[in-house]
Structure formats: structure tokens, C-alpha cells
Amino acid sequence: MSSEADVLYRRAVEAQEGGKPAEAERWHRACLDLRQREGDEAGVSRSTHVLALLLHGLGRESEAAEFYRASLALFERLDQAVGTADAAYQLGDILAGKAEYPEAEAMFRRSLSAQEGLEDNEDLLVQTLFGLARVGQKSGKLEMAQACLTRCLSIEESRGLMENQVEILLRLSQVATDRGRREEAEEYMVRLRRLRPADM
């Protein structure tokens, strides 16, 4: 990465942290353009992804999706597992929100595949599994949804994150109910009440 590109990136970050998204976008685009002209493929992949994240945060999902697709292709070509995993997850999240469930599922699975062997990726792993479960619920793949949520619950129990466990148990109860397994659904609710008795 050139020193000039580094300066442009820092300006973008400063603008973003200062609550100036339009200015941040201009600097990020300038940084991306410079890295493209320099032929810095690794830098282009990072800048493309950062710009996608910014646009996604601004609610400009169609634009963000195009940049995620571009960064995903670059990350995969460069064999960057971390970038691949996040880009695929983010794209899957947008597609799921648009009810494009088959492609969303494919993206979430692509993310999970990239995450194999990564360390300290529990947050992204849970988010991806939860996204895949949501797709399963919406598309009628309830067994898949339950399997993903069960894996999420196991991870969150090992981390001791009670609030996340509550949400997952509630979703598991809903899935079990949808599958006609009312006793199983009630078992999840019993476990949930044990975690949050005051709210139940």
C-alpha cells in the first residue's frame, strides 16, 4: 500500500468516526481508485470491502452488495479466508433481507466453509449460523434451521453469553413448534425460563 493510499484511508476513517459518512465515502472511493491504478490487488480487496461495509451501514444495500461481490471474488482469488468469510456473510445477510433465500443460503455456506480452521471467529460463526437458520425458517428448511440454532446455542453456552442464549432458545422453540414438536418446544421454553425467570 502506498503512503498516499494510506493517507486517503486514514482520512476516510477519521471522517467516518466523525459522523461524516458522505466525506468518508469520497475518501474511500479515492483510496480504492488509487489502489486500482497502482495494481495493488490486496489493497483493492480491502478498500472494496470497507466501502461495502460503509454503504451497507448507510442502508444502500444494492450498492453494498455489488461491492461485497467484488471483494469476495478478490479475497477468494488471494486466498484470504478471513475476508472471504466476512464478505460472503455480509452478502448473505443482504440477500436474506431481500428474500433471495437460495443465494443467501449459498453465501452463508460459503462463509462457513471459509471459516473452517480460523481461530477467534466465534462472533462471525454465530452470526453466520444464525443467518442460515433464519433462511431455513423463511424457506421451510426447518431441520436445517434447528441444526444451525443448536450449534449456535452450544457456542454461546461455552462462552457464557446469556442474552444470546435467550434469543436462540426462543428461536429454537419457534422452530420446534413449526415442526409440530410441541413437547420439544416447551423444553426449550423451560430452559429459557431458567435463564430469565424474572421475565417469564
In a domain, 177, yes or no: no
In three-state secondary structure terms, 120 is coil
In a domain, 199, yes or no: no
In a domain, 32, yes or no: yes
Contact predicate 136/142, CB 8 Å:
yes
pLDDT of 196: 74
In a domain, 174, yes or no: no
In the predicted model, what is the mean pLDDT of the chain?
A: 94
d(CA 200, CA 198) in angstroms, rounded, equals 6
**pLDDT of 133 over the 70 cut:** yes
Q: What is the pTM of this model?
A: 0.91
Contact predicate 34/2, CB 8 Å:
yes
In a domain, 119, yes or no: no
Contact predicate 104/92, CB 8 Å:
yes
pLDDT-derived band of residue 2, with 50, 70 and 90 as boundaries? low
In a domain, 21, yes or no: yes
pLDDT-derived band of residue 200, with 50, 70 and 90 as boundaries? very low
pLDDT-derived band of residue 161, with 50, 70 and 90 as boundaries? confident
Contact predicate 125/110, CB 8 Å:
no
Instruction: Say how many domains are in the chain.
Output: 1
In a domain, 47, yes or no: yes
In a domain, 111, yes or no: no
d(CA 57, CA 44) in angstroms, rounded, equals 20
Range of the domain at 10: 1-78
- CATH number of domain containing 55: 1.25.40.10
